[in-house]
Structure 1
């Protein structure tokens, strides 16, 4: 698309959400379909369960309570595993011992944004991979510091910040803002502040929304929400 305007994509996501990891892969495929459209991807916070304590909860008990028993949890996660394989993701749910509180992970993602889109994207990818493939406890400060360093951030600075309340209120406020906008589940892709693509939609659907936003912006027309 020639002379295409710049399009922002805000991905409202939680790093303990497997559908968000699947959505990340589908977004990457969608971006490859939007030839000529310049985009900026920004990762935004959401918590599927803000009531989880800092130390997290036993994963098996948590999922069985959430889904009403072991058989239902097994059924639901079986479908997620199959969806993940189609995107090249081999989820290793059996190695996840703890369901973590992800507020500090979202603070880390917020700080990574200050170092650029590439660093933030590497960090988000590392958080997903370490949690879903390696079973890492991504609520622990030491694990978050390791992941930050893997993404190219300064671990000593991250460790010092995690020991404070830096950006906790701001991250909470951002989550509440997303909820007030009608975001009740994730992933949600907010395109150019006008189009909302809810859920881990197929790449073609996401790409269509991005192209539509670019065309509408180029024409100077108001946007409308996608679903």
Structure 2
């Protein structure tokens, strides 16, 4: 089979557990279509665009968002069970602060320029959901950048680069009608919202492949 390069844009936020689940399912879909060349581009969507720069103490965030611990526990227990099926051992109890993710998204843009965006996004998910680390903290982000193979990340984070792109991309997502993530866009045309199962995501790749054949 002739290989085709399929472009997949993924709107995501690294503090979204369904985005982590979506990533695992997407990776599985890719193994189901080994003859396809897939190029991913991670795009900004902020679950909490009004989050203070310093973030928010986790329990206060859950109280505000879910109306109390019991509702939050029920919600996250369901996610944990789904994550377990995908090989993710969510450690929600380790998370002490819900961060502002602007700098994490800025770092993602920077990682794209070094072809390390996939590696960075995966580590952002791991540090937050498996270790409970504050990915809004500059030192944590620098550690993640190093682990992802990025160079000159400290200089970048000390600047204001990427800030306007983060805000613009987030607003653009909302103008497209997105109100949640993950959201996959195939060849910048076909939209597939949600953390779909691997079979559905593989079918998405089929659509992208067929489109590339028709254009070649």
Bucket of the pairwise TM-score, normalised by the shorter protein: over 0.9
| Residue 219 (structure 1) shift | 2.2
Larger mean CA deviation between 94-103 and 159-168 belongs to 159-168
**Equivalent residues in 2 for 1:37-186 (5 A)?**
37-116=36-115, 119-154=116-151, 157-186=152-181
| Residue 32 (structure 1) shift | 0.9
- What is the RMSD computed on CA atoms of the aligned residues? 1.3
Query: 3-state DSSP class of the match of 1:9?
Result: strand
Larger mean CA deviation between 164-173 and 106-115 belongs to 164-173
Larger mean CA deviation between 65-74 and 98-107 belongs to 65-74
Separation in 1 of the partners of 2:178 and 2:33?
Answer: 25
Q: Structure 2, unaligned stretches of length 5 or more?
A: none
Q: Which residue of 1 aligns with 2:15?
A: 16
- What TM-score do the two structures reach when normalised by structure 2? 0.96
Q: Which residue of 2 aligns with 1:200?
A: 195
- What TM-score do the two structures reach when normalised by structure 1? 0.92
Separation in 1 of the partners of 2:81 and 2:122?
Answer: 20
| Residue 193 (structure 1) shift | 0.9
Residues 50-89 of structure 1, C-alpha deviations (whole Å, 9 max, x = no match): 1111211011110121011111111000000000000010
| Residue 213 (structure 1) shift | 2.0
Work out whether 1:216 is the aligned partner of 2:215. no
Tell me if the contact between 1:106 and 1:171 (Cα under 8 Å) persists in the aligned partners.
Answer: yes
| Residue 182 (structure 1) shift | 1.8
